[in-house]
Amino acid sequence: MLRNQAALIAGAMSLVLAASAVLRASPRRSQLLFAVFAVNVSAWYFTDFFSDVSFIWARLHLASGITLPLAAVQFFRVFLHADDAPTRVLHRTALGSGVAILALLVTPLADGMVIRIAIFSYMAVFLIASMAMLVARAAESRSDVTRKRLRYLAFIGGLASVFTLLEYLPLFGVQIPPWGAALLVLFLYALSLSVEHARLLDLSEVVGRVAIMTFFALALAGALLLLTRFTGGALLPAVVASFLTFILFDPIRDRVRETLTTWFVRERAVLDASVHDAREHFSGAMQPDEIIEALVSALERSKRITVAGVYLVDPQSPGFVRVGAIGERAPERVEELPRLIELLARGPVELEAIQIAIDEHRERGETARAAQLDRLAVVVDGLAADICLPIESGGEVRGFVTARDDRAKWFSDDEVDLLARLVEHASVALDRAAAYRDLKERDRLAALGEMAAGLAHEIRNPLGAIKASAQYLTDPEHVEETPAEERHEFLDIIVGEVDRLNHVVASFLDFARPSDGERKAPIDATPVLERAMTLVGREHPDVTISLELNASRRIAILPERLTQIALNLARNAVQAMDGEGHLTVSASDLDSAAAEEVVITFRDRGPGIPDEIRDTLFGPFVTTKHDGTGLGLAITHQLVTAVGGKIEVESAPGGATFAMTFPAENPDDE
């Protein structure tokens, strides 16, 4: 009874699979042959179901048992592109002996035991031979992934064949459960997916789909049962249940697929998660270095990669430089690779795919093309890469990422997709960082332009005075009338204004000089600040200067720069207090969450920063003094930020406090 039901169900499902293969728009030859194979399986089960009804069905059942291996061999020949001599012999032998046994079926021998044994052996030999074809093809394949997929297909197929053959045992008087039917349908389903996608699928993909289908079959059946119980009719519940299933299909399928991914393929799930994490890192990063670091750490965390390199176009000379890596095997620099870059413009390049293509070209006798690809394979292998993924910007390849897993060799299609997505996110982030840098550069240029306007103004004032004085002195009328000491006054004005001009230009140059990349040795700030304050104290004897210098850490800055900063701030303070009052200079270690730092402050008892310039205080040419240049704080700000520090001001009617934070290190850490 169970066996009969199973036969009927297996027959129906095989027929549906056959239909699904041919109903596609313009089916390929492999799809058509698959359909023939599936129809044959279906016939085999249907005739089995009806074989009790009349002897004709029993005969047909035996006949379809003979054509089944034939259809299998024919399908696998095309599906596996196996067209070598042994397969041709196999096919011919199957055909010859098949026809012979078929002929026996119409003779009186058909009812005897002999023909059953003949058919049993025939099926055994050729079904097993078909599976052997799969195994042989797997052994030949240079790709690990393909090999694995072919092997599990052969495994399911082998099991299905064995159990199908066991179903003949009833003919010999032995009863077994109908596992063959279930396995054979599963096998057909796996094949139909592979045929449909024109590629082999991972076991997890097949299992995932089967699980989803089972889930829906059960859900539909459950809904149907419930509805029938409550409504009594049959049509309405069926329609409602179908609607429910259709509506829920998409969302539930996605859910189930997600869950299955985590269950079945932990490795892939880890890769999935690290791609997701990296995306978040990218979105917060503005510096190319940060993005590349996040990319490399995502690759590392994926646990799927043992060697990797991130390459970007070398701005200095043609070629690419490595800007990030896992391990040291990816070369530090590579020359121009026109062929690879051309391919990368179209997407990821896999060494496996190149090698498969080489084999195919060789088989077809296209040696020139094969040799060309061979060279490419050598290049890619030289990069220690199983896969290269393009870093693109504005449709152009600006670099690439290479990756290899020494343990597992190739990557599956899913993994390639995920890695490609990861690198794509990184490309977008790099693009954004470049745009940001451009913007900052534009800001700098705009500030320079503004400064030039300010500078012109600063220069025009003293020039006016100089011109007036010079005109006065050169006018013969004036010269005769003016006493000598008065003429000296005019000369003093000229010298004074020239000095001022000199000062303005020197300050401007200080400001306009792009922050130098000079490597500064870490220094102790205390002696530098002490010396600077001694100088200020001598200039302004009426100002009391208190020093609270307790920093033990060192900061990386040139001593003369720190002196310049200290003098600027101290002189401003003194001027704000009209030359008399109290100035406190302090330095101390500070532990913030992110780093070790040193804070240096200048606190005066002056009137505080005038409100109208509070927001633009550190900009160039911002001043409230007649003879001020407005460059002092701008330069100070620039010097502090150039070494990675920051400067802030607090101001109240009781005085202003300038606080600077510098990155620092402990002297014992060196």
The per-residue b/e assignment along 556-587, b for 16 or more CB within 10 angstroms, e otherwise, is bbbbebbbbbbbbbbebbbebbeeebebbbbb
Residue placing its CB nearer to ligand ADP in the complex, 11 or 606: 606
Instruction: Find the part of the chain contacting ligand ADP (CB under 6 A) among 83-91, 367-375, 396-404, 572-580.
Output: 572-580
Binding segment toward ligand ADP, per CB under 6 A, in 34-42, 131-139, 263-271, 625-633? 625-633
The residues with which 584 forms a beta bridge, in sequence order, are 546, 603
Q: Report the number of secondary-structure helices (H) and strands (E) in the chain.
A: 20, 13
- Residue 252 CA: distances (Å) to CA of 244, 247, 259, 419, 655: 12, 9, 11, 26, 67
The region of 90-98, 129-137, 294-302, 603-611 touching ligand ADP under the rule CB under 6 A is: 603-611
When the beta carbons of 183 and 634 are compared against ligand ADP, the nearer one is 634
- C-alpha distances (whole Å) from 231 to each of 217, 225, 552 are 21, 10, 86
Would you say 552 or 651 has its CB closer to ligand ADP? Answer: 651
> Left (φ > 0), alpha (ψ -120 to 50) or beta: where does 319 sit?
left
How big is the chain, counted in residues?
Answer: 670
Instruction: Considering the complex, state which of residue 390 and residue 655 has its C-beta at the smaller distance from ligand ADP.
Output: 655
**Position of minimal CB gap to ligand ADP:** 632
Nearer to ligand ADP, 163 or 602 (CB): 602
Q: What string marks each residue from 520 to 559 as x (binds ligand ADP by CB under 6 A) or -?
A: ----------------------------------------
Q: Is 399 in the site for ligand ADP (CB under 6 A)?
A: no
Tokens of 553: 């850490």
**Tokens encoding 525:** 């700030």
Nearer to ligand ADP, 286 or 652 (CB): 652
Q: Which is nearer to ligand ADP, 29 or 646 (CB)?
A: 646
Q: State the DSSP H helix or E strand holding residue 590, giving kind and residue range, or none if neither.
A: strand 581-591
Identity of the residue, 485 or 612, whose beta carbon is nearer to ligand ADP in the bound complex = 612
Q: How far is CA 598 from CA 562, 592, 640, 661, 665, in A?
A: 13, 10, 12, 6, 9
Report H helices in 51-112.
55-79, 85-105
Q: Which two tokens stand for residue 183?
A: 């396995």
Query: Stretches 47-55, 202-210, 474-482, 604-612: which one binds ligand ADP (CB under 6 A)?
Result: 604-612
Q: Which of 13, 119, 308, 633 binds ligand ADP (CB under 6 A)?
A: 633
Q: Cβ closer to ligand ADP: 69 or 606?
A: 606
Is residue 604 part of the contact set for ligand ADP (CB under 6 A)? yes
Determine, following the binding rule CB under 6 A, whether residue 609 of this chain makes contact with ligand ADP.
yes
Position 298, amino acid: A
Residues 6+ apart with CB under 8 A from 100: none
- Does residue 632 interact with ligand ADP by CB under 6 A? yes
Instruction: Specify the 3-state DSSP secondary structure of 264.
Output: helix
Is 58 among the residues that bind ligand ADP (CB under 6 A)?
no
Considering only 36-44, 118-126, 548-556, 619-627, which stretch makes contact with ligand ADP by CB under 6 A? 619-627
| Rounded Cα–Cα distance for residues 30 and 401 (Å) | 36
Q: How far is the CB of 634 from ligand ADP (least distance, A)?
A: 6
Cα-Cα-Cα-Cα dihedral sign, residues 421, 424, 430, 436: negative
CB of 312 to ligand ADP, least distance (A): 40
Q: Does 622 bind ligand ADP (CB under 6 A)?
A: yes
Question: Does 458 sit near ligand ADP (CB under 6 A)?
Answer: no
Among residues 28 and 503, whose Cβ is nearest to ligand ADP? 503
Rounded Cα distance, 351 and 642, in Å:
46
Provide, rounded to whole angstroms, the least separation between the CB of residue 501 and ligand ADP: 15
- Candidates 617, 640, 660, 664: give the one binding ligand ADP (CB under 6 A): 617
**Which CB atom, from 372 or from 563, has the smaller least distance to ligand ADP?**
563
Amino acid letter, 240: V
Tokens 């169970």 map to which residue?
A: 2
Q: Does 573 bind ligand ADP (CB under 6 A)?
A: yes
User: Angle CA(255)–CA(260)–CA(262) in degrees, nearest 5?
Assistant: 105
**Closest CB 483 distance from ligand ADP, rounded Å:** 36
Residues touching ligand ADP, count (CB under 6 A): 22
Of residues 576, 585, 600, 642, which one binds ligand ADP by CB under 6 A?
576
Q: Is residue 400 helix, strand or coil?
A: strand
- Residue 624 as a binder of ligand ADP (CB under 6 A): the answer is yes
Q: Residue 468 or 613: which CB sits closer to ligand ADP?
A: 613
Tell me whether residue 522 or residue 606 sits nearer to ligand ADP (CB atom). 606
Of 651-670, binders to ligand ADP (CB under 6 A) are 656
Does position 625 bind ligand ADP by CB under 6 A?
A: yes
Place of tokens 């005066």: 604
Closer residue to ligand ADP in complex, CB, 105/448? 448
Burial of 181 (0-12, 13-18, 19+ CB in 10 A): buried
Tell the residue number behind the tokens 């995920």, with chain if given.
Answer: 418
609 Cβ neighbours under 8 A, 6+ residues apart: 617, 649, 651, 656
Which range in 229-237, 263-271, 348-356, 606-614 contacts ligand ADP by CB under 6 A? 606-614
Class of residue 17 by CB neighbours under 10 A (exposed 0-12, middle 13-18, buried 19+): buried
What sign does the dihedral 166-172-174-177 (CA atoms) show?
positive
3 state SS of 583: strand
Q: From the list 288, 496, 628, 644, which residue makes contact with ligand ADP (rule: CB under 6 A)?
A: 628
Q: Pinpoint the alpha helices (H) of 302-388.
A: 338-344, 351-363, 367-382
In whole angstroms, what is the distance from residue 99 CA to residue 97 CA?
5
Q: For ligand ADP, give the closer residue by CB, 47 or 568.
A: 568
Q: Distance (Å, rounded) from C-alpha 88 to C-alpha 95? A: 11
Torsion of CA 50, 51, 56, 62, to 10 degrees: 120
Toward ligand ADP, which CB reaches closer, 402 or 572?
A: 572
Q: Residue 462 interacts with ligand ADP (CB under 6 A)?
A: no
The yes or no reply on residue 38 touching ligand ADP (CB under 6 A) is no
SS3 307: strand
Contact, 550 vs 519, CB < 8 A?
no
Q: Is 585 in the site for ligand ADP (CB under 6 A)?
A: no
User: For residues 116 and 172, is the Cβ–Cβ distance under 8 A?
Assistant: yes
Chain position carrying tokens 């399911």? 156
Instruction: By CB under 6 A, tell whether 640 contacts ligand ADP.
Output: no
The verdict on 515 binding ligand ADP (CB under 6 A) reads no
Single out the segment in contact with ligand ADP by CB under 6 A; choices: 92-100, 124-132, 224-232, 568-576: 568-576
Task: Select the residue interacting with ligand ADP from 464, 610, 654, 667 (CB under 6 A).
Answer: 610
CB 505 to ligand ADP: min, Å: 14
Pick one of 93, 461, 623, 641: the residue that binds ligand ADP (CB under 6 A). 623
Nearer to ligand ADP, 44 or 602 (CB): 602
Place of tokens 């600040």: 529
Binding residues (CB under 6 A) for ligand ADP: these are 572-573, 576, 604, 606, 608-610, 613, 617, 622-625, 628-634, 656
